[in-house]
Amino acid sequence: MATSLPIPRDSQAKLVHILRLSAQIFAERGFEGASMRDISRATGVSLSGLYYYFESKQKLLYLVQKNTFTYIVDRLHARLEGVRDPQTRLRLLVQNHLEYFLSHPHEMKVLSHEEALEEPFRKEVAAIKRRYYTLAREIFDGVAAEASASALNPRIAVLSLFGMMNWVYKWHNPEIDPGAEELTDSIVGIFLHGVLPSATEHTELHLATVPATESEES
Residues 46 and 107 grouped into a single domain? no
Question: Of 135, 26, 130, 126, whose CA–CA distance to 89 is shortest?
Answer: 135
Examine the domain organization and report whether 165 and 118 are in the same domain. yes
Residue 106 sits in the same domain as residue 172 = yes
Residue 166 sits in a domain whose CATH number is 1.10.357.10
The model's pTM is 0.83
Domain boundary among 55, 76, 93: 55
- Residues 138-190 pLDDT 10s: 999 999 998 765 678 999 999 999 999 999 988 999 999 999 999 999 999 99
In a domain, 163, yes or no: yes
**Does 96 lie in the same domain as 13?**
no
CATH number assigned to the domain comprising residue 1: 1.10.10.60
Q: What is the per-residue pLDDT across 41-55, written as a single tens digit (0 to 9) for each? A: 999 999 999 998 899
Distance between first and last Cα of the chain = 65
User: Of 55, 70, 92, which residue sits at a domain end?
Assistant: 55
- Residue-number span of the structural domain to which 63 is assigned: 58-208
Which domain-ending residue is among 18, 33, 55?
A: 55
